[in-house]
Structure 1
Amino acid sequence: MKLPQPTRRRGSLAVAPAGAVTIPAFLLPQTFHTLRHTDRWIARRESRYASTMAGEPKPKRQRVEEIRSKEHLPDGITETDEEIKHKWFVGSIDQGTTSSRFLIFNGAGDPVASHQIEFENLYPESGWHEHDPRELLKSVEECIEGAVKEFTKAGHKLSQIKSVGITNQRETTVVWDKHTGEPLHNAVVWPDTRTTSLVRELRNKEGAEELLDRCGLPLSTYPSSVKLLWLLQNVEEVKKAYEESRLAFGTVDSWLIYKLNGGAERDGGAIHVTDATNASRTMFMNLRTLKYDDKLLNFFGIDRSKIELPKIVPSSHPEIFGKFTSGPLEGVPIAGCLGDQSSALVGQCGFQPGQAKNTYGTGCFLLYNVGTEPVISKSGLLATVAYDFGKGKKPAYALEGSIAVAGAGVKFLSTNLGFAEDAIKAAELAETVDDNGGVFFVTAFSGLFAPYWIDDAKGTLFGLTQHTQKGHIARATLEATCYQTKAILDAMAVDSGHALETLSVDGGLSNSDLCMQTQADVSGIPVVRPAMRETTALGAAIAAGLATGVWGELDDLSEVNRNGRRVFEPKLEEKERDRLYGKWQQAVDMSRGWVKVDDE
């Protein structure tokens, strides 16, 4: 079925015309030679040797692996950590808002091959944001081909790739005909705001006040539920498929898993699943049971007999996500699936309550591990599933908060104010001064998000004098991100009851040593920056690797992505930290009331 193709234009998220970019392999880290699980490996080898000598047939799985690898050590010889780290590899599909990537990681968590492709974003009307679902799939398939070529060119064998994980943009909504496997509309992307009036109506509906406690999310334009409801109300083909009980719904992970397994034509039936981290962003799943909640579905008017929802499964499993049915990875299992922000937390090994990660991009996304029981925030933060690795273990939950302006503030200095030729140079300006010179910059270009929730604030500079330089304003811009991060982390600690231990960081702005040291000083805790920043992709690889034996338990990940990491320890005295944060809070209070929301 041919999808309606709206007028295409490039927005701020779109980049140059779609093309392929091959990223060079990273150097392998220094190694060590400690024997790993020696007794277990010796016992396994001796068992295989004994059964072979006795003439017993080998287990089917062992025979298949022998055919695939053809690289076995003689009986009685064990594998060292070094051999394990570089013998087996895990792939990771990282499907984002503006590009798709495929990376291949070794057992040490180092990427050895990768390929990235940008695709076109569609903006048919103001506030609307769409993807062609077929282009998403095509970009992923091309990335796999590109990375595999790089992988084999480096001398590795495809048989060494044990499994593949998937991480994806969350909330983006895809609908298709379950009989044909063809999409019925373009995917509605997570920041799309066409549902604004619909959300306003739903907030006045009976039962709206119960949603947050059941699913962890407040009503807004982001969740998949309101996007699906809009499609059912406004797109005739979607409405017809629903009435005829042939409508399939899913998020990007569901769509990719469905198609990579062969779609509707798969022998034995289509695989239509999603993991709990993605399902927790739909507003259809009960946060405590990790199952679809009839009260939530009824609130949105969804009749389960007329729509095929993806089965909610753990984030890590050796079989339930199926296998590739074509391409260079044909037969390789898909064994892991995580929404992008959860995947970044896993990639940072944030497995303990009180551990948090912050991704410093255009804005910031913070996830804070609160343990095995969900916490409903009193500060307007979101409650979500951090990961669910199954195997009889409880899922981990997280609180999530976001900052609208981080890297965007630095870009503002270069693009709007002409402080420097680009954002990187603007950030470097902050290093030309010893402190902020008394300047505070509340970067509330569109109000302030959690935990402030101030809609009538605007970007405001405080403390300017005749001695103020560009460097002071640049430094104040970096500090604004750090102060807002502290405010969210403090709220998360209060909500969860878990003291914050460390903050792991990634994203473009984390490259600034000054910004990361400031974050440690402001927050009063260590800030950990890994040398390898592809933590979102690594998280999906970890989920898949745990399911297929590349790593046995979470303890086996203690050395993953640890080489070359840097820890920024707080240097400010507590009294000075409190004084500066008090000035920031004063600036926030004074930024209120600059605009009347009703008059915007």
Structure 2
Amino acid sequence: MTQILAIDQGTTSSRAILFDEDIRPTRSAQREFKQHFPASGWVEHDPEDIWNTVRETCLEVANGADVAAIGITNQRETTLVWDRATGKAIHNAIVWQDRRTADNCAALKQAGHEALVTDRTGLLLDPYFSATKLAWILDNVDGARARAEAGKLAFGTVDTFLIWRLTGGARHVTDATNAARTMLYDIKTGAWDADICALLNIPMSMLPEVLDCAAEFGATDLLGGKTPILGVAGDQQAATIGQACFKPGMMKSTYGTGCFALLNTGDVPVASTNRLLTTIAYQLDGKPTYALEGSIFIAGAAVQWLRDGLGVIDDAAQTGEMAEAADPEQEVILVPAFTGLGAPYWDAECRGAVFGLTRASGPKEFARAALESFGFQTRDLLTAMQADMGHDSETVLRVDGGMAASDWTMQFLADITGAAVDRPTVLETTALGVAWLAGMKAGIYPDQDGFATRWALDHRFEVKMDAPTRDRRYDAWQDAVSRTLSRP
């Protein structure tokens, strides 16, 4: 048995990918599911949609395969609470993009609690993270708090919920990378933080056990027999692993629904002074490796908006050609703050805006503005990371995710950041990373060094834009953002 099944549970779809003994993807299946927007700034998923799409894709892909182990990677911060007896969620999953707890976070900041939260968790007080979402469910679902205090309810991010379902409720566990995104986990001591739980009135009995990224998470009979689950990591950490960013100073950026850049800082958690996040990149053999992270809420989702909201494209693949054909004299800027802005602004209340429109502006200019917004936001993150690390050294950015396939977008990314952009031969680095974790734990795949040697370059995008143009374009972006923020 030499095949590994990777479950990649994302924000808009669930996928299952089968990897062979050479860590090559051989078979995959994908199912989209419905997004729910019950109020402005609110985003939810039906937990049964998550489970059913995972179950269906796994069964389709694993049909007839000898699966040695399963790895799970997942959308992070998305929050679920379920009944321990029935396994049924008591409310829809509240998605990482959801901003309903913005006022709660603002009140906690006003009361002076952010310093404690940041020191313990490496995170900022923001509705992005799981903690205030969990508190909201306890406060707003009838009887939830009493049931939680009685030990009848369980909390988890998507990985924990899936493991519970896959193991028939036998295991209530998560890994260190997902725990680190809840705003309830002390990333220095490696334990749930009692003070923060008390601050938010969250019973600690609801919280799962935290394991390494490569560990024994339980076994499932979904595929027949007992298949062990041996690897788990949040999607951005899994992509960091899949990009083999194992050395301090290595950086990756994933372009999916959102955009997330991680910079490996080794065994030292670097405290950001530029409103980035300090997080766990991965944890193996009980030893965490830390990272600085910049989180952008809207990247590929801006392209979805062009398709589903404006109706100016039929397929995401059209945007590159449209951007190439756009009027170069028009410099339309889209600030895609549809659910607020993430790092380094952390403004939950601002909303999207478009600047520079003329009578000649049309779908092509909108397409270019959407793609350019990826690059502008990434430069925001890169600038902040360099400031936190205390140097402005030459950086090579390893990219992945669906939008990394767009040559036009990656070239603009290199141009506006002034950094070379390396696209690997395997763009599905999120699934690759968690497949390697499971396969390494199963004894099928090589160790870190052996895995790193397999990373292969597809194309390097060198900087072509001159510095004055780059800085002028970026200055215009910063001006647009300043006009969009809800506060100075």
Taking structure 1 as the reference length, the TM-score comes to: 0.73
- Give the equivalent residue in structure 2 for 1:333: 228
Is the alpha carbon distance of 1:406 and 1:323 closer, same or farther for their aligned partners in structure 2, counting shifts above 3 Å? Answer: closer
- Give the equivalent residue in structure 2 for 1:280: 180
Unaligned segments of structure 2, at least 5 residues: none
- Per the TM alignment, residue 237 of structure 1 is displaced from its structure 2 partner at its CA by 3.1
Is the alpha carbon distance of 1:595 and 1:228 closer, same or farther for their aligned partners in structure 2, counting shifts above 3 Å? Answer: closer
Preserved contact between residue 439 and residue 473 of structure 1 (Cα < 8 Å) = no
- Per the TM alignment, residue 315 of structure 1 is displaced from its structure 2 partner at its CA by 0.5
- Per the TM alignment, residue 212 of structure 1 is displaced from its structure 2 partner at its CA by 1.1
Is the alpha carbon distance of 1:517 and 1:259 closer, same or farther for their aligned partners in structure 2, counting shifts above 3 Å? Answer: same
What amino acid does structure 1 have at the position aligned with 2:213?
S
Q: Does 1:205 align with 2:114?
A: no
What amino acid does structure 2 have at the position aligned with 1:443?
L
- Give the equivalent residue in structure 2 for 1:132: 46
Is the alpha carbon distance of 1:472 and 1:134 closer, same or farther for their aligned partners in structure 2, counting shifts above 3 Å? Answer: closer
C-alpha separation in 1, matches of 2:283 and 2:433:
12
- Per the TM alignment, residue 469 of structure 1 is displaced from its structure 2 partner at its CA by 9.7
C-alpha separation in 1, matches of 2:307 and 2:46:
33
- Per the TM alignment, residue 124 of structure 1 is displaced from its structure 2 partner at its CA by 4.2
Preserved contact between residue 409 and residue 477 of structure 1 (Cα < 8 Å) = yes
Preserved contact between residue 342 and residue 386 of structure 1 (Cα < 8 Å) = yes
Q: Does 1:588 align with 2:488?
A: no
Q: Does 1:570 align with 2:462?
A: yes
Deviation sequence 1:245-282 (CA, Å, 0-9, x none): 3222211111211221221xxxxxx3211101100111
Preserved contact between residue 333 and residue 373 of structure 2 (Cα < 8 Å) = yes
C-alpha separation in 2, matches of 1:456 and 1:143:
35
Moved more, 436-445 or 372-381: 436-445
Preserved contact between residue 274 and residue 387 of structure 2 (Cα < 8 Å) = no
Deviation sequence 1:283-319 (CA, Å, 0-9, x none): 1110212211222222212343xx23111110112x3
Is the alpha carbon distance of 1:388 and 1:211 closer, same or farther for their aligned partners in structure 2, counting shifts above 3 Å? Answer: same
C-alpha separation in 1, matches of 2:400 and 2:436:
17
Q: When you count strand as a share of all residues, which structure comes out higher?
A: 2
- Give the equivalent residue in structure 2 for 1:21: none
- Work out which of the residue numbers 389, 397, 407 in structure 2 matches 1:513: 407
- Give the equivalent residue in structure 1 for 2:160: 254
Show the 5 A alignment for 1:212-231. 212-231=118-137
C-alpha separation in 1, matches of 2:89 and 2:308:
39
Preserved contact between residue 7 and residue 71 of structure 2 (Cα < 8 Å) = yes
Show the 5 A alignment for 1:135-154. 135-149=49-63, 152=64
User: Among the aligned pairs, what percent are the same residue?
Assistant: 40
> What secondary structure, in the 3-state scheme, does the structure 2 residue paired with 1:591 have?
helix
Is the alpha carbon distance of 1:96 and 1:437 closer, same or farther for their aligned partners in structure 2, counting shifts above 3 Å? Answer: closer
- Give the equivalent residue in structure 2 for 1:164: 70
Unaligned segments of structure 1, at least 5 residues: 1-68, 70-87, 264-269
C-alpha separation in 1, matches of 2:371 and 2:39:
34
Count of matched residue pairs: 483
Is the alpha carbon distance of 1:438 and 1:127 closer, same or farther for their aligned partners in structure 2, counting shifts above 3 Å? Answer: closer
- Per the TM alignment, residue 342 of structure 1 is displaced from its structure 2 partner at its CA by 0.9
> What secondary structure, in the 3-state scheme, does the structure 2 residue paired with 1:482 have?
helix
What amino acid does structure 1 have at the position aligned with 2:227?
V
Structural RMSD (CA): 3.1
> What secondary structure, in the 3-state scheme, does the structure 2 residue paired with 1:334 have?
strand
Deviation sequence 1:503-537 (CA, Å, 0-9, x none): 12122322222222332333343322123322111
- Give the equivalent residue in structure 2 for 1:112: 26
Is the alpha carbon distance of 1:204 and 1:579 closer, same or farther for their aligned partners in structure 2, counting shifts above 3 Å? Answer: same
Moved more, 342-351 or 199-208: 199-208
- Give the equivalent residue in structure 1 for 2:150: 244
- Per the TM alignment, residue 561 of structure 1 is displaced from its structure 2 partner at its CA by 5.4
- Give the equivalent residue in structure 2 for 1:75: none
C-alpha separation in 2, matches of 1:322 and 1:426:
43
C-alpha separation in 2, matches of 1:226 and 1:402:
18
C-alpha separation in 2, matches of 1:456 and 1:130:
19
- Work out which of the residue numbers 323, 327, 331 in structure 1 matches 2:219: 323
C-alpha separation in 2, matches of 1:417 and 1:134:
29
Show the 5 A alignment for 1:33-182. 88-149=2-63, 152=64, 157-158=65-66, 161-182=67-88
Q: Does 1:444 align with 2:338?
A: no
- Per the TM alignment, residue 396 of structure 1 is displaced from its structure 2 partner at its CA by 1.4
- Give the equivalent residue in structure 2 for 1:351: 246
- Per the TM alignment, residue 557 of structure 1 is displaced from its structure 2 partner at its CA by 0.8
Preserved contact between residue 334 and residue 352 of structure 2 (Cα < 8 Å) = no
- Per the TM alignment, residue 209 of structure 1 is displaced from its structure 2 partner at its CA by 2.7
What amino acid does structure 2 have at the position aligned with 1:207?
H
> What secondary structure, in the 3-state scheme, does the structure 2 residue paired with 1:225 have?
helix
> What secondary structure, in the 3-state scheme, does the structure 1 residue paired with 2:292 have?
strand
Q: Does 1:368 align with 2:255?
A: no
- Give the equivalent residue in structure 1 for 2:321: 428
C-alpha separation in 2, matches of 1:456 and 1:138:
33
Is the alpha carbon distance of 1:449 and 1:123 closer, same or farther for their aligned partners in structure 2, counting shifts above 3 Å? Answer: closer
- Give the equivalent residue in structure 2 for 1:189: 95
C-alpha separation in 2, matches of 1:362 and 1:187:
17
Deviation sequence 1:530-584 (CA, Å, 0-9, x none): 233221111111111121112231011134453xx42324243xxx642123202
C-alpha separation in 2, matches of 1:500 and 1:236:
54
Bigger relative contact order (CA 8 A; separation at least 6) = 2
Preserved contact between residue 413 and residue 426 of structure 1 (Cα < 8 Å) = no
- Per the TM alignment, residue 409 of structure 1 is displaced from its structure 2 partner at its CA by 5.0
> What secondary structure, in the 3-state scheme, does the structure 1 residue paired with 2:386 have?
helix
- Give the equivalent residue in structure 2 for 1:18: none
- Per the TM alignment, residue 166 of structure 1 is displaced from its structure 2 partner at its CA by 0.6
Deviation sequence 1:342-363 (CA, Å, 0-9, x none): 1111112121222222222344
When Rg is computed on C-alpha atoms for both structures, the one with the higher figure is: 1
